[in-house]
Structure 1
Amino acid sequence: MDNLMRKLPIGIQTFEGIRKENYLYVDKTALIWRMANLGKPYFLSRPRRFGKSLLISTFDAYFQGKKELFNGLAIEQLETKWEQYPVLHLDLNAKKYETAADLIAMLNQYLEKWEAIYGDEKKDRSPEERFSYVIEQAFLKTGKNVVVLVDEYDKPLLQAITRPKLFEDYRQTLKAFYGVLKSADAYLRFVFLTGVTKFSQVSVFSDLNQLNDISLDYSYATLCGITQEELESTFKPEIEIFGRKNHQTPEEVVTAMKRNYDGYHFHPDGSGVFNPFSVLNAFSKLELGSYWFQTGTPTFLVELLQKSEYDLRTLLNGIEAPASSFVEYRMDANNPIPLIYQSGYLTIKDYDREFQNYRLDFPNDEVRYGFINFLVPFYTPMKNNDQGFYIGKFVQELRTGDYESFLTRLEAFFADIPYELNDQTERHYQVIFYLVFKLMGQFTEAEVRSARGRADAVVKTPKYVYVFEFKLNGTAEEAIKQINEKGYLIPYQKDHREIVKIGVEFSAETRNINRWLADTK
């Protein structure tokens, strides 16, 4: 049976290729028909490798009237006309943008292809003039309104985000180019732009004010990604094969998949979705792994965090924010959260209707621990492969009750911070504590808090519950006293495990643990 695994479309981004080559397809065509027939200009923001290119390709096939590709899918029961329209499909994802000329070259590549079909009388003009002319001529020569599909509209901007001059060059070019879509409205049947980030300065979101941003729409929350229902129905054979290989029941497989790859919400009331790239790779390789995270490192996001001096502890504990603060990114704003959210490292977890605040947090374990691990070398002197920061050693020591070795290791970790980093703020050192305890959470129950009225950190192992209180301007004795007097142990009084109270005194002068006390009473 294991040799009968079906073809999984890993890296296959064309709808026609998937259908003709008999790859597995999660049917989204009912939503596609709805979009095509209930509206005209759309924008959708989704993280990388979430199926945006496949979605654009599916619209391409639909508007070219390729009915045969949709046999057996939901749209077959909805569409009756299957008309063919001229389609202008622009994909900006394929090039590495390093100079202003790179973007012009990519636009020229597509314009020349379209001009060969519809006329090149404006070939010596600017890209936006040529684009406008092609749209008009496509309408006049076919008698059909034109479909414009733009995949990864923001790829050049994202690649230039840390280079202000180049970013401005790209912004000006794209502002003029996308601005054509407003003046050409009379010739257009359907417009759909996708990308990772909604850049507020690009005119497609100001001048083109009729564009319908469906990124947070309830009706389209599952347009990209895989719902649990789709996972269990479409991938039933794969779930069984994965379970046999890993000695798990189908239910256990789904639970493990949910923990690692589910949890993305694009509307507070919408169904959650799994990351499709990780799901497909896990079923193909028959083991869990950080497949999505490893395909793109968030270096520029971490640099933005550091540049903005954003309090990392807030990010690691979940963020409350109005939609206006995370759905658009402004280059002049000192706020990295919109890019972190739109890039897929945070997602909607809850919504306070009274105050209209969203709660953002990591969607799942793949992203949570991948991101935290990635942060370590940016906030500490350690490298990812440095054996001095093997988090398993910290966990093993607490599991065996050897908290003395745990604290000694933590002390040595801080001692390794070079002298030139010793002028870091107190908050920087608090962040390092956060990183250590948050990383332990992938192996054991570990919580680290910044709110008053709770212990600074709690770690639960099979035999022990550790309650930590850190004093940055106080003594270890005061830390133990605070644990007792503030009732930090109350939630664990009925727990069968041994409770260990640990007060840690941190020296502002030496920037290290000065001493600690433990109490098992």
Structure 2
Amino acid sequence: MEQVRKLPIGIQTFEKLREGNYLYVDKTAMVYQLASASVPYFLSRPRRFGKSLLLSTFEAYFEGRKDLFQGLAIEKLETEWESYPVFHLDLNARKYETFADLTAMLNQYLERWELKYGTEKQDRSPEERFAYMIEQAYEQTGKQVVVLVDEYDKPLLQALLDESLLSEYRRTLKAFYGVLKSSDRYLRFVFLTGVTKFSQVSVFSDLNQLNDISMKPAYATVCGITKEELVRTFAPEIDALCVKYGESFDEILTRLTLMYDGYHFEETAAGVFNPFSLLNVFDGCKFDHYWFQTGTPTYLVDLLKESDYDLRLLVDGMEVDASAFSEYRAEVGNPLPMIYQSGYLTIKGYDREVYLYTLGFPNDEVRYGFLNFLLPYYTEVSSDATGFHIAKFMRELRNGEVDAFMERLKIFFSGIPYELSDNTERHYQAIFYVVFALLGQFVSTEVRSARGRADAVVKTQDAVYVFEFKLNGSAEEALRQIDDRGYLIPYTLEGRRLVKVGVNFSKETRNIDRYIVEE
């Protein structure tokens, strides 16, 4: 009987992974390279990208667990295997709804360390106790201390729009993390991870020696799975997908790439796949949107709603300089850094002459998952119902039923509560935009991202539909614009029916006022 290969879904502990004989994509050469220096590091990566497993790997390495690294790259690199005292703080395991929640989490770890190294200062502030523990661990063991902090920003993200609570969290964490600078002489290695970098200025202002490797090419693939690693480690699982879907190895690899690849954390670096999604595809032998099933990015939605950000800028990519997406703060007026750092956008290109990055959705899982997730917040259509609506829209266009499509769009808009709409052109444009972008799951679609293109183009097997929308204008005006600007010209040689749809949207009724269909 063939032995079942064990996929490490949800396994975040290196010891458990290795002792349980789970499949492992070997990142230990980079672990050794990082650990060889006594530099304090910071790494920002999206959720479910393997940050916790990376820190657990460092923990095992600095505890001298040579037995766990047999057969891995680091086994040929490390000769000493020294053991150091390790303080591993994981802030991901709790909801931080009040200041007491953060205090309780810090106390939980401090009390555990104090049982080992002394309780003499247990009545002092968290930062004093932390500093004392580091000093005592050094003096009692004769070895410098290793500090690992996982998801340093979890409390801050949960208080993002509560300025009072956010201020308390910042003050406490700034003092706590500041210990890592004042205790430098006692420290062998420091590594902090998080989803975002927005709090660096305020929270880490005293820790200015941090080496931020989030966008450094040498470590761009330290989390995530490259295509080479995918094929080398998971070929049998890819073969199983080939059998199920009746496709070749290369065809399945292409599907996996479109759905889950495309994260670039530096402009020249190889793309990486989302490891959580890949493992779940292999486990269930089924393509699906797994990353979005693990939790809703409510902090990001709150920020987008507060900012009235133009969602149309996201779909086809945008050019920005580095400061636009990597700055160390979150602002209601500019949610782009948070969108990027949270994994919903990634680097898709770089123009060296003008120093501009192109940001876009990394893959189809993120594109459609993100848009499906956002639609209820703009329309109050439930996420369960969204797929039903979009599928209906798609079927009507495939059948050439433009009138039915437009009537369904009217019903869709009539169901949006008045209080959800700010009655601005951008709000309605965003809703149109998301609906047509979601159609891209089923048919080829384009939505306008630059001057000179129609608002939306939908291609079915038999026809090309070109839509132009006006707000408080006229359907005739929309139709004339399609002709005057030659929106149909790029599609004249495709051999399909060309259908023009001019639509006027009434600001007063908050719905489609009139539309005209012409072939």
Mapped partners of 2:456, 2:332: distance in 1: 33
* Match of residue 339 from structure 1: 338
Residue 199 of structure 1: how far off its partner (Å):
2.9
Deviations 1:147-179 (A, max 9, x none): 111111111111222322221111111100000
Question: Would you say the 8 A contact 1:465–1:500 is kept in 2?
Answer: yes
* Match of residue 258 from structure 1: 257
Deviations 1:87-130 (A, max 9, x none): 11111111222221221221122112222222222222111111
Mapped partners of 2:368, 2:458: distance in 1: 17
**Cα 1:388–1:257 shift into 2, 3 Å:** closer
Residue 300 of structure 1: how far off its partner (Å):
2.5
Deviates more, 1:378-387 or 1:186-195: 378-387
**Cα 1:204–1:475 shift into 2, 3 Å:** closer
Q: Which amino acid aligns with 1:127?
A: P
Mapped partners of 2:237, 2:263: distance in 1: 22
SS at match of 1:198: coil
* Match of residue 367 from structure 2: 368
SS at match of 2:92: coil
Mapped partners of 2:152, 2:276: distance in 1: 21
Question: Aligned pair 1:227/2:264, yes or no?
Answer: no
Mapped partners of 1:55, 1:385: distance in 2: 35
* Match of residue 176 from structure 2: 177
* Match of residue 431 from structure 2: 432
**Cα 1:148–1:204 shift into 2, 3 Å:** farther
Question: Aligned pair 1:288/2:287, yes or no?
Answer: yes
Question: Would you say the 8 A contact 2:504–2:515 is kept in 1?
Answer: yes
Mapped partners of 1:365, 1:240: distance in 2: 22
Mapped partners of 1:204, 1:388: distance in 2: 41
* Match of residue 271 from structure 2: 272
Question: Would you say the 8 A contact 1:302–1:375 is kept in 2?
Answer: yes
Question: Would you say the 8 A contact 1:471–1:506 is kept in 2?
Answer: yes
Question: Would you say the 8 A contact 2:201–2:329 is kept in 1?
Answer: no
* Match of residue 493 from structure 2: 494
Mapped partners of 1:388, 1:355: distance in 2: 41
Instruction: Calculate the aligned-residue CA RMSD, in Å.
Output: 1.8
Mapped partners of 1:160, 1:291: distance in 2: 26
* Match of residue 517 from structure 1: 516
Question: Would you say the 8 A contact 1:171–1:202 is kept in 2?
Answer: no
Mapped partners of 1:140, 1:447: distance in 2: 64
Percent pairwise identity? 66
Question: Would you say the 8 A contact 2:130–2:179 is kept in 1?
Answer: yes
* Match of residue 94 from structure 2: 95
Instruction: Extract structure 1 runs of 4+ deviating beyond 4 A.
Output: 201-204, 419-423
Q: Output the TM-score relative to the length of structure 1.
A: 0.95
Mapped partners of 1:254, 1:473: distance in 2: 47
* Match of residue 206 from structure 1: 205
SS at match of 2:481: helix
Question: Aligned pair 1:396/2:376, yes or no?
Answer: no
* Match of residue 137 from structure 1: 136
Mapped partners of 1:420, 1:125: distance in 2: 50
Question: Aligned pair 1:467/2:466, yes or no?
Answer: yes
Deviates more, 1:215-224 or 1:153-162: 153-162
Query: Where does the alignment leave 5 or more consecutive residues of structure 2 unmatched?
Result: none
Superposition pairs for residues 345-364 of structure 1, below 5 Å?
345-364=344-363
Q: Which amino acid aligns with 1:77?
A: K
Q: Which amino acid aligns with 2:99?
A: A
* Match of residue 309 from structure 1: 308
Mapped partners of 1:332, 1:340: distance in 2: 12
Mapped partners of 1:478, 1:202: distance in 2: 50
Q: Which amino acid aligns with 1:246?
A: Y
**Cα 1:39–1:464 shift into 2, 3 Å:** farther
Mapped partners of 1:150, 1:44: distance in 2: 11
Residue 381 of structure 1: how far off its partner (Å):
3.7
Residue 332 of structure 1: how far off its partner (Å):
5.1
Deviates more, 1:296-305 or 1:469-478: 469-478
SS at match of 1:393: helix
Question: Aligned pair 1:483/2:482, yes or no?
Answer: yes
Q: Output the TM-score relative to the length of structure 2.
A: 0.96
Q: Which amino acid aligns with 1:69?
A: L
SS at match of 2:89: strand
Question: Would you say the 8 A contact 2:306–2:332 is kept in 1?
Answer: no
SS at match of 1:326: helix
SS at match of 1:85: coil
**Cα 1:399–1:4 shift into 2, 3 Å:** farther
Residue 495 of structure 1: how far off its partner (Å):
0.5
SS at match of 1:47: coil
Mapped partners of 1:12, 1:367: distance in 2: 23
**Cα 1:501–1:454 shift into 2, 3 Å:** same
**Cα 1:320–1:387 shift into 2, 3 Å:** closer
Question: Would you say the 8 A contact 1:40–1:191 is kept in 2?
Answer: yes
SS at match of 2:326: coil
Mapped partners of 1:134, 1:426: distance in 2: 58
Residue 394 of structure 1: how far off its partner (Å):
0.7
Q: Which amino acid aligns with 2:267?
A: P
Deviations 1:182-225 (A, max 9, x none): 11111111100011111335655322111000011111110000
**Cα 1:201–1:70 shift into 2, 3 Å:** closer
